[in-house]
Structure 1
Amino acid sequence: MKNELLSLLNKNLLAVEPSLIRKFDDEISKIPGIIKLTLGEPYFNTPDHIKIAGIKAIIDNQTHYAPNRGIVELREAISEYLRRRHYAVSYDPQEQIIVTNGASEAISTAMNSFLGEGDMVLCPSPAFGLYRNLAKINGARYIEIDTEDDKYELTPEKLKTYLDEYHTSVKMLVLNYPNNPTGVSYSENEIKKLAEVLEEYPIVGECQEVCVNG
């Protein structure tokens, strides 16, 4: 039965490799008293006011199916937060914002929506392993951009070099910042310079919180 089920699986799924960081975490977790810097889990518990809000929502029977895009009030709060406190940008909560179960679902949704067989994905290396696996599942080719010589930052010059080489097949650039695992981030000016390069190519750019047409 196991072999029969395997034969029915998406063949691309069989190419996905186990997470190395999970394997490493499993090994070192056996060491008593160790301070782990592996999975990036917050060192603090969920704050009490958030726990209480969750409990209150259950008591108030907010336990039924939510709209596919997420609860309207939450989308409106996200829109206001982005406008007023974070990025000074305006997104329509009715049409331009969806709520996901964490960042991984958002990343998966974006990459699954755009990628298909034969597409190429560019990603500065090193990077979070999920991107490579999602590319494989969708039959896309994952191209690493080595950033070691540039202090682990993607430069406009190097981005243009790769786009010129692969531009006929490149569908997406994944820009992982603050970078996992190096911690490198980008200034507003650096992002603008990368965006200026992307404007010349029919490519989707995905970062941690938004997916925008380049």
Structure 2
Amino acid sequence: MNLERFLSRSVQSVPPSGIRKFFDIVSEMRDALSLGVGEPDFVTPWSIRDMGIYSIEEGHTHYTSNYGLLELRKEISNYLKRRFDLNYPNYREQILVTVGASEAIDIALRSIINPGDEVLIPEPSFVSYKPCTIFAGGIPVEVPTKAENDFKLRAEDIIPKITPRTKALILSYPNNPTGAIMTKEDLKELVDVLKDKDIIVISDEIYAELTYEGEHVSIANFPEMKDKTILINGFSKAFAMTGWRLGFVAANEVFIKAMAKVHQYIIMSAPTFSQYAAIEALRNGAAEVEKMKEEYNRRRRYMVSRFNKMGLECFEPKGAFYVFPSIKSTGLSSEEFAEKLLYQQKVAVVPGTAFGSCGEGFIRCSYAYSIETIKEALDRIEKFVTNFKASTQSQEIQKNRVVVEQ
């Protein structure tokens, strides 16, 4: 009996994550090192953990409001104003607490997409945007970005992609996987294109705190885009709270009300103890975030320098905790490079193609690992590149020798 015929066509059409393949192999490989996981190596700061524990001890083990604890929503409103000059004063109706930023992305799309609506997705990008668009009944439209433009999204990139069916643009900066950021001037260029169009921007700003040059700017900072922007953020990356599964959305009341409707039927509410911990994170976690950011910055500079020295040209990321070096000089595809590196040197990286077809010729490496792990992994990568290039040159010399003898 073919049970697959019972499956949803949209689910069948989506391939498994291109990231998981390599992690599954690494989990069964002795002495393997991974630079693939997008998760902080830091433990959640103690005061935040302590508050989560205390909330359980105090018996806060019941559902909260579908929207999240009112106290937390107020703190989120204060935080957005304090850190990014973003105004969401009506926190009762403008902020929704979600199970991670991942749920926020899903319900944002489900709340606005009708079958056949198109969603512009700049690539390389986080792996879930395209599948979530498909699951919502939308049509993902790839918008390639380029290394020569520092992987920024340009107006000239999106203008040809806009059609009467375009419903939304997903904007993700600082970017996963490239580490690119968008400055106020960069965003202004997009605003000039979008301000008079009926296009909603879903702005995933989960890495906003991890901006290493200048200050993070949101497209929601532009008055003409504020009401058309669904801003997504969370606690996983900056506060090292991945396992707590907590994110949030800030948007116009119309969007929040619609998203809360989906949220209440599929989730009910985010974990209660995580919400209490998040209040502590927002009130007293800034110093710990800064310490982690400084360490990420040190690792960032080291990785960029090492990749460039070994001949793999590496764009300097200005945000998040990833580098996206080019492996084009090896002549290998992204998939080939990642597989050969894994089996020959036991180092896992993610092929650039996992983040879109324009990621071909690149690999993603995370620096959310200890500096000792990073150094050892880069030593192995350098050895792999050196050996591969030497082998390729030897084969070319032998090939030319045979031609001459003939």
Scaled by the length of structure 2, the TM-score of the pair is: 0.48
- What residue is the counterpart of 1:57 in the other structure? 55
5+ residue gaps, structure 1, are: none
1:37 is matched with which residue: 35, 38, 51? 35
- What residue is the counterpart of 2:118 in the other structure? 120
For residue 203 of structure 1, what is the amino acid of its counterpart?
A: I
Alignment of 1:157 onto 2:156: yes
Larger Rg: 2
Aligned-pair RMSD on alpha carbons?
2.0
Stretch deviating more after TM superposition (102-111 or 70-79): 102-111
CA distance in 2, matches of 1:49, 1:67: 24
- What residue is the counterpart of 2:84 in the other structure? 87
- What residue is the counterpart of 2:197 in the other structure? 201
1:192 is matched with which residue: 177, 182, 188? 188
CA distance in 2, matches of 1:6, 1:64: 40
Alignment of 1:99-138 (within 5 A): 99-138=97-136
How many matched pairs? 208
Local SS of the residue matching 1:168: coil
Aligned residues of 2:154 and 2:190 also touching (Cα < 8 A): yes
Report how far residue 39 of structure 1 moved.
Answer: 2.2
Report how far residue 48 of structure 1 moved.
Answer: 1.6
1:181 is matched with which residue: 177, 198, 207? 177
CA distance in 2, matches of 1:76, 1:207: 21
Deviations 1:2-59 (A, max 9, x none): 82x862x543222221101011221233333444221211111122211111110001
Aligned residues of 1:75 and 1:98 also touching (Cα < 8 A): yes
Amino-acid identity (%): 38
Q: 1:120 to 1:45 in 2, by over 3 A?
A: same
Aligned residues of 1:179 and 1:185 also touching (Cα < 8 A): yes
Local SS of the residue matching 2:38: coil
Stretch deviating more after TM superposition (126-135 or 23-32): 23-32
CA distance in 2, matches of 1:150, 1:118: 31
Deviations 1:113-157 (A, max 9, x none): 111211111111111110110111122211111112533211112
Alignment of 1:98 onto 2:89: no
For residue 141 of structure 1, what is the amino acid of its counterpart?
A: I
Give the helix-richer structure, 1 or 2. Answer: 2
Report how far residue 189 of structure 1 moved.
Answer: 1.9
Report how far residue 103 of structure 1 moved.
Answer: 0.8
For residue 173 of structure 1, what is the amino acid of its counterpart?
A: L
CA distance in 1, matches of 2:104, 2:2: 31
5+ residue gaps, structure 2, are: 206-219, 221-225, 230-406
Stretch deviating more after TM superposition (93-102 or 142-151): 142-151
CA distance in 2, matches of 1:58, 1:43: 25
- What residue is the counterpart of 1:213 in the other structure? 228
Aligned residues of 1:12 and 1:136 also touching (Cα < 8 A): yes
CA distance in 2, matches of 1:154, 1:32: 40
- What residue is the counterpart of 1:13 in the other structure? 11
Aligned residues of 2:118 and 2:165 also touching (Cα < 8 A): yes
Scaled by the length of structure 1, the TM-score of the pair is: 0.89
Local SS of the residue matching 1:95: helix
Aligned residues of 2:144 and 2:157 also touching (Cα < 8 A): no
Aligned residues of 1:126 and 1:182 also touching (Cα < 8 A): yes
For residue 90 of structure 1, what is the amino acid of its counterpart?
A: N
For residue 208 of structure 1, what is the amino acid of its counterpart?
A: D
For residue 195 of structure 2, what is the amino acid of its counterpart?
A: E
Stretch deviating more after TM superposition (136-145 or 50-59): 136-145
CA distance in 2, matches of 1:101, 1:2: 34
1:168 is matched with which residue: 157, 161, 164? 164
For residue 69 of structure 1, what is the amino acid of its counterpart?
A: Y
Aligned residues of 1:12 and 1:138 also touching (Cα < 8 A): no
